[in-house]
Structure 1
Amino acid sequence: MKKKLYKSTQDRKLSGVLGGLSEVWNIDASLLRIIFIVLTLLMVGVPMIIVYVAAALILPDDKDVWE
């Protein structure tokens, strides 16, 4: 069974994008958030923030996926 990418409503801090990614990749959401913050600081933030905002706008919530 393929895992679908969606925003998590259970593991949400901002919009749920990283919570959804952590479920798909089977890693801890806190670790993924730390990695995201470090990469954002190292890359001067703009590319990572643009990707995050685009994902937040495009991805459905997990409750929408199951209905």
Structure 2
Amino acid sequence: FESAVGAVAASLGNIGPGLGSVGPVLNYSTVPMAGKWVLAFLMLLGRLELFTVLILFSASFWKK
């Protein structure tokens, strides 16, 4: 649980190391491939700001 929360927080914040098995001494090699895709998407959300991405995925934005 600690590793998952740390990886998600590190991905959204674009800060690099997380907690637990993805901490500053270890790396993301222990994360399965599907998890790496999720973390990559979260990094994109963190970089573009969450609100902007949510607007792009809303149907009302594209109906105009």
TM-score, normalisation: structure 1: 0.32
Q: Which has the higher helix share?
A: 2
- Which structure is richer in relative contact order (CA contacts within 8 A, separation 6 or more)? 1
TM-score, normalisation: structure 2: 0.33
